[in-house]
């Protein structure tokens, strides 16, 4: 069903290299250890929350979608049309807070949008074509990512 964009390994390689480069410029990071520890804690919490949300959404969809032939509108899908993408976003923000300077969260959000918005639009077109009025009604009530 889904044609995936094949740039993830390039992005991952870029992020790893950029992380190594950023560590050479320590003045970009907060020097207050209490703030740094708090950001690490928040980041870890977001990674765990995102992971839990992705797992819950995946399991819920598998259990309630009739082998992929039914539209799932409750459970985590009653809060957002894309709980797995939201989970991935939370995991990425958490990683960013732990590893990169706190101010790079905005940059991550922009890159995440660029990377996944086109895929979400394609999925919405497929769901609209497949489930017609049911999906259109659902999409009017529930936001794409954030409610």
The answer to the question of residue 103 being in a domain is yes
Residues of 35-65 as b/e, b for ≥16 C-beta within 10 angstroms?
Answer: eeeebeeebeebbebbeebbeebeebbeeee
- Would you say residue 88 lies in a domain? yes
**pLDDT at position 65, please?**
81
Q: What is the pTM of this model?
A: 0.83
127 lies in some domain:
yes
Q: Is residue 147 part of a domain?
A: no
Comparing 17 with 97, the larger pLDDT belongs to 97
Cα(36)–Cα(29) distance, rounded to whole angstroms?
8
Inter-CA distances, 125 with 128, 131, 140, Å: 5, 10, 14
What pLDDT is stored for residue 1 in this prediction?
Answer: 47
In a domain, 120, yes or no: yes
Rounded Cα distance, 55 and 97, in Å: 22
Tell me if 89 sits within 8 A of 108, measured CB to CB.
no
pLDDT > 50? residue 121: yes
Percent of the chain beyond pLDDT 90? 59
Q: Give the total number of structural domains in the chain.
A: 1
Residue at 116 is within a domain: yes
Q: Give the containing element (helix H, strand E) for 110.
A: helix 105-141
- Give 108 or 20, the one with higher predicted confidence: 108
Tell me the pLDDT band of 138, cut-offs 50, 70 and 90.
very high
Domain that includes residue 112, residue range: 8-23+31-141
| Mean pLDDT to the nearest integer, 14-40 | 85
Q: Per the structure block, which two tokens stand in for 98?
A: 């732990």
């Amino acid at each position: 069903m889904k044609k995936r964009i094949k740039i993830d390994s390039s992005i991952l390689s870029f992020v790893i290299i950029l992380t190594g480069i950023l560590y050479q410029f320590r003045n970009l990071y907060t020097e207050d250890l209490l703030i740094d520890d708090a950001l690490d804690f928040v980041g870890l919490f977001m990674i765990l929350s995102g992971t839990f949300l992705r797992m819950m959404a995946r399991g819920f969809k598998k259990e309630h979608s009739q082998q992929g032939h039914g539209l799932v509108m409750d459970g985590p899908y009653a809060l957002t049309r894309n709980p797995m993408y939201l989970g991935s976003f939370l995991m990425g923000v958490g990683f960013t807070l732990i590893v990169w300077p706190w101010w790079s969260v905005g940059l991550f959000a922009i890159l995440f949008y660029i990377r996944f918005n086109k895929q979400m639009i394609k999925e919405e077109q497929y769901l609209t074509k497949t489930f017609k009025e049911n999906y259109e009604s659902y999409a009017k009530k529930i936001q794409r990512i954030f409610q």
